[in-house]
Structure 1
Amino acid sequence: MPTAIAVTGPDLVLPSPDRHTPSAAVLQSAVQSPRTYSLDKALTEMHTLIEHHGYVVALCPASAPASVAQRLHAVRSVLESDRIAIVRSDLPPLGLAVLALQLRQLSICDFSPGVLASAARLLSHYIYAGALLGSVAKLDRVPVTLQSHARSWVPGAQFAVLATPRPDLVKVSADADAQLPGPGFTTRLLYATGRLAPAWVTETLAPAWHVQGVTEARLPSDSERWWATGKLVEFAAAIPDISVLYQLVSSVRRDDCHWCGLELIGDRCAFCAAPLPPPSDRPSPPVRALISRGATALPRGAT
């Protein structure tokens, strides 16, 4: 079975693009209140996923209530399992749903669990996530100028906001050609409608970004809180082709975690959170392997 991709809400599960892409596991321990979903149930839920899939990559929004992340870490701690990666993400809700879909697509490839989990950070840089907003007066997740704050009180004002990979904000009006910096590679655009018409996104943004296609999705329940307004159309443009995603992840250098021994890309293991030491300080065998063999001394640079 492929590594399980788990999410903290059903709105983060986009439809599979083909019959090969597995769905994501929705963690009920994150959806339901701890008062109604006990720790024992949460432990059973995660243990079942580990038994069926071997490893679990749990995507958790950085904007989620502290109790959600605390429950995930509590489950991991009680199970004493190094097979659970808790990946926090700053992506807005629809962008996070797209990331979860990409990881689901890659989970059926030949990537090891460590590479798959650490690929989440890499892929996030290639997701252009934003929204068309009717107000930015309360928006605090993207830098907003005082002038934009003042303009958002004007009736009918609309703003195009890009949250990732580089924050940007422009005022949208009929007499101005508002532009957001778009991706320089082939993408597919997903959008979800709140209490604004999607015309600007589908008729102006999509052609300007030269997207391969446009698909409507359901607006995630957390979008209004994330963007601080219900007058919005959320959008996310990302690489849709699994072969391109595979080449992107495959092109990055892989290392072995010096603590748990799993493969990783980037500078930190997604499973045990150990940072990658400088090249001169990297031990040959994983530290935990040495400990299991009863080594009396750790290699230089190990902690």
Structure 2
Amino acid sequence: MPTAIAVTGPDLVLPSPDRHTPSAAVLQSAVQSPRTYSLDQALTEMHTLIEHHGYVIALCPSSAPASVARRLHAVRSVLESDRIAIVRSDLPPLGLAVLALQLRQLSVCDFSPGVLASAARLLSHYIHAGALLGSVARLDRGRIDVSLESHAKSWLPGSQFAALAAPQPELVKLTGGDEVDLPGPGFATTLLYAPGRLAPDWVTGTLAPAWKSQEVTEVQLPAESERWWATAKLVEFAAAIPDISVLYQLVSSVRRDDCHWCGLELIGDRCAFCAAPLPPPGERPAQPTRTLVPASHRLRPAAGPAPAPGTSALPRGAT
């Protein structure tokens, strides 16, 4: 069985694009109140996932209530298991659902659990997640900087804003023209959008062509989106790489190391399972030569963003 990808809500599970992509496990311990879903039930739920899949990667949004994160860490602590990775993400709800889908796609490949869990942070930098907003008056400035001018204009009837939360926060006021000032992806993507109480015309008719999206698909708006964006007048969207062969090469091209604490493979600078940081370059053991992409998987995408083998795939300035 592939490594289990677990999420904290059913609306973070997008439909599988093919019959090979498994669904995600919805953690009832995160959905239900501790009053109605006991710790014993939460332990049984997680233990069952481990028994069936070997390892569990639990995606938890940074915006989730503190009680959700505490319950996940409590379950991991009581089980004394090093097979549970709790991955926190700053992505907005639809962007997080897309990340979960990409990890689900990659879970059927030959990546080890440590590499797959570490890939969550890498893949997040290639998801362009944002929203069309009818108001930014209550938008959390810790997520996207809202100027006083934008704050004042948001009270005007009919005002609309285009906001980008990832990979870099951006906010622009729409003027009614066809211009798109939001920086888009420089590689082939599919655009998913989820309408709230705004018409999606700007997203489908202006943003999608400007970003050269290969496909535009409507999905259900996650329940958390209105709280995350602080308004019901929105259309959330996320542009991401849909091709599993490109995702595979993107992850495969990054140097792998072994965690000095738990021994799992990882990419990046920290193990997603035990949170141990990677030692400085001078203290790392020499890596054996390995074939990162098996011959059966050597696909050459036309416009993939994969870096050269042995280099870091994180964008410059990313942490």
**Residue 19 (structure 1) aligns with:** 19
For 2:238 and 2:284, the matched residues in 1 are separated by 38
Deviation of 1:250 (Å) = 0.2
Identity %: 85
Matched residue SS, 2:23: coil
Please point out which of 229, 235, 254 is paired with 1:252.
Answer: 254
Amino acid at match of 2:196: G
Runs of 5+ in structure 2 lacking a partner? 287-319
TM-score of the aligned structures, taking structure 2 as reference length: 0.88
Greater radius of gyration (CA): 1
**Residue 129 (structure 1) aligns with:** 129
- Assess if the C-alpha contact under 8 Å between 1:171 and 1:178 holds in 2: no
**Residue 290 (structure 2) aligns with:** none
- Assess if the C-alpha contact under 8 Å between 1:28 and 1:42 holds in 2: yes
For 2:5 and 2:26, the matched residues in 1 are separated by 9
Amino acid at match of 2:36: T
Deviation of 1:174 (Å) = 1.8
For 1:96 and 1:177, the matched residues in 2 are separated by 27
Amino acid at match of 1:30: A
Deviation of 1:279 (Å) = 2.1
Q: For 1:63-111, what per-residue CA distance to the aligned partner results, in whole angstroms no more than 9, with x for missing partners?
A: 0000000000000000000000000000000000000000000000000
**Residue 103 (structure 1) aligns with:** 103
- Assess if the C-alpha contact under 8 Å between 1:118 and 1:266 holds in 2: yes
Deviation of 1:176 (Å) = 6.5
> What does 1:82-101 correspond to in 2, within 5 Å?
82-101=82-101
Deviation of 1:272 (Å) = 0.1
Amino acid at match of 2:236: E
- Assess if the C-alpha contact under 8 Å between 2:180 and 2:207 holds in 1: no
**Is structure 2 residue 55 aligned with structure 1 residue 55?**
yes
Cα 1:242/1:176, change in 2 over 3 Å:
closer
- Assess if the C-alpha contact under 8 Å between 1:254 and 1:264 holds in 2: yes
**Residue 204 (structure 1) aligns with:** 206
Q: For 1:136-158, what per-residue CA distance to the aligned partner results, in whole angstroms no more than 9, with x for missing partners?
A: 01111211111100100100000
Amino acid at match of 2:139: L
For 1:277 and 1:227, the matched residues in 2 are separated by 38
TM-score of the aligned structures, taking structure 1 as reference length: 0.93
Matched residue SS, 1:163: strand
> What does 1:98-177 correspond to in 2, within 5 Å?
98-140=98-140, 141-175=143-177, 177=179
**Is structure 2 residue 40 aligned with structure 1 residue 40?**
yes
Deviation of 1:175 (Å) = 4.4
- Assess if the C-alpha contact under 8 Å between 1:99 and 1:120 holds in 2: yes
- Assess if the C-alpha contact under 8 Å between 2:162 and 2:174 holds in 1: yes
**Runs of 4+ with >4 A deviation:** none
Amino acid at match of 1:4: A
Deviation of 1:282 (Å) = 3.0
Corresponding pairs, count = 285
For 2:181 and 2:68, the matched residues in 1 are separated by 36
**Residue 69 (structure 1) aligns with:** 69
Amino acid at match of 1:25: A
Q: For 1:139-185, what per-residue CA distance to the aligned partner results, in whole angstroms no more than 9, with x for missing partners?
A: 11211111100100100000000000011111112247242110000
For 1:282 and 1:180, the matched residues in 2 are separated by 40
**Residue 194 (structure 2) aligns with:** 192
For 1:121 and 1:88, the matched residues in 2 are separated by 9
Matched residue SS, 1:88: strand
- Assess if the C-alpha contact under 8 Å between 2:178 and 2:206 holds in 1: no
**Residue 183 (structure 1) aligns with:** 185
Report the aligned-residue RMSD: 1.1
Q: For 1:219-271, what per-residue CA distance to the aligned partner results, in whole angstroms no more than 9, with x for missing partners?
A: 00000000000000000000000000000000000000000000000000000
For 1:228 and 1:156, the matched residues in 2 are separated by 17
Q: For 1:22-62, what per-residue CA distance to the aligned partner results, in whole angstroms no more than 9, with x for missing partners?
A: 00000000000000000000000000000000000000000
**Residue 263 (structure 1) aligns with:** 265
Matched residue SS, 2:246: helix
- Assess if the C-alpha contact under 8 Å between 1:99 and 1:123 holds in 2: yes
For 2:170 and 2:59, the matched residues in 1 are separated by 25
Cα 1:177/1:255, change in 2 over 3 Å:
same
**Residue 81 (structure 1) aligns with:** 81
**Residue 314 (structure 2) aligns with:** none
Matched residue SS, 1:243: helix
**Residue 243 (structure 1) aligns with:** 245
- Assess if the C-alpha contact under 8 Å between 1:258 and 1:283 holds in 2: no
For 1:218 and 1:163, the matched residues in 2 are separated by 19
Deviation of 1:281 (Å) = 2.1
Amino acid at match of 1:201: V
Range with greater deviation from structure 2 (124-133 or 275-284): 275-284
- Assess if the C-alpha contact under 8 Å between 2:180 and 2:210 holds in 1: no
